[in-house]
A and B are shown apart, each in its own frame.
Chain A
Amino acid sequence: MKTRRSFLVSIFAAGMVGLFGSGTAQTDSPIKVVASFSILGDIVQQVGGDRVHLTTLVGPDGDAHVYQPTPADARSVAETKLLIVNGLGFEGWMERLTEASGYKGRVVTATAGIVPLQMEEAEEQHEAETEQKAEEGGHADHDHGEIDPHAWQSLANARIYVRNITDGLAAADPAGAETYRGNAARYLKEIDSVEAQIREMVASLPAERRKVVTSHDAFGYFSAAYGIELLAPVGFSTDAEASAGDVANLIRQIEQEQITAVFVENISDRRLIDQIVRETGARIGGTLYSDALSKADGPAGTYLDMMRHNIQTLVAALGG
Chain B
Amino acid sequence: MYEVIFAPFVEFGFMRRALVGCFALALGATPIGVFLTLRRMSLTGDAMAHAILPGAALGYLAAGLSLGAMTLGGVIAGVAVAILSGLVARTTVAREDSSLAAFYLISLAVGVVIVSTRGSNVDLLHILFGTVLALNDAAIFLIAGIATVTLFGLAAIYRPLVIECYDPGFLRSVSPLSPVAHYGFLVLAVLNLVGGFHALGTLMAVGIMILPAAAARFWTRDITPLLVIGVLGAFLSGFVGLLLSYHASLPSGPAIILTAGAFYLFSLAFGPDGVVKTHLRSRRHLEA
Contact = CB atoms under 8 A, between A and B. Distances in A.
Asked if A and B are interacting partners, one says yes
Contacts of A319: none
B89 to A, nearest CB: 31
Interface stretch (B11-19, B51-59, B99-107, B180-188): B11-19
Given A63-B122, A241-B251, A271 B136 contact: yes
A251 interface: yes
A173 interface: no
A254 to B, nearest CB: 12
Name the prevailing secondary structure of the B interface residues. helix
Contacts of B247: 245
Interface residues of B, number: 36
A61 B64 CA distance: 13
A242 B201 CA distance: 12
B133 A244 contact: yes
B131 A272 contact: yes
Contacts of A246: 249
A271 B245 CA distance: 19
A278 B133 CA distance: 12
Interface string A240-269: 111111111001000000000000000001
Contact of B135 (A62, A245, A275): A275
Interface string B229-254: 00000000000001001111111111
A243 B12 contact: no
B167 interface: no
Contacts of B15: 244, 248
Given A244-B8, A247-B14, A272 B248 contact: no
Nearest to B251: A241
B121 A242 contact: no
Interface in A163-213: none
A243 B13 contact: no
A72 B12 CA distance: 47
B136 A274 contact: yes
A274 B133 CA distance: 11
Nearest to A72: B116
A4 B13 CA distance: 64
B265 interface: no
A68 B53 CA distance: 15
Contacts of A150: none
A22 B14 CA distance: 61
A303 to B, nearest CB: 18
A61 B124 CA distance: 12
B177 interface: no
A135 interface: yes
Interface in A215-254: 238, 240-248, 251
A242 B122 contact: no
Interface in A261-296: 269, 271-272, 274-276, 278-279
A53 B139 CA distance: 45
Contacts of B119: 59
Interface string A109-120: 000000000000
A14 interface: no
B156 interface: no
Contact of A251 (B12, B127, B136, B249): B12
A135 B249 contact: yes
A70 interface: yes
Contact of A272 (B120, B127, B133, B249): B133
Contacts of B18: 244
A269 B130 CA distance: 8
A251 B249 CA distance: 14
A140 B121 CA distance: 23
Interface string B161-198: 00000000000000000000000000000000000000
A247 B133 CA distance: 8
Contacts of A238: 126
Nearest to B122: A62
B136 A59 contact: no
Contacts of B136: 271, 274-275, 278
Interface of B: 8, 11-15, 17-18, 116, 119-123, 126-127, 130-131, 133-136, 139, 201, 242, 245-255
Interface of A: 57-59, 61-63, 66-68, 70, 132, 135-136, 139, 238, 240-248, 251, 269, 271-272, 274-276, 278-279
23 contacts: A58-B121, A63-B122, A63-B123, A63-B126, A67-B123, A240-B251, A242-B252, A243-B250, A243-B255, A244-B8, A244-B133, A244-B245, A244-B255, A245-B249, A248-B8, A269-B127, A269-B131, A271-B130, A271-B131, A271-B136, A272-B131, A275-B135, A276-B14
Given A251-B14, A275-B14, 17 more contacts: A63-B126, A67-B121, A241-B252, A241-B254, A242-B131, A242-B251, A242-B252, A243-B246, A243-B252, A244-B8, A244-B14, A244-B245, A245-B246, A248-B14, A269-B130, A274-B136, A279-B14
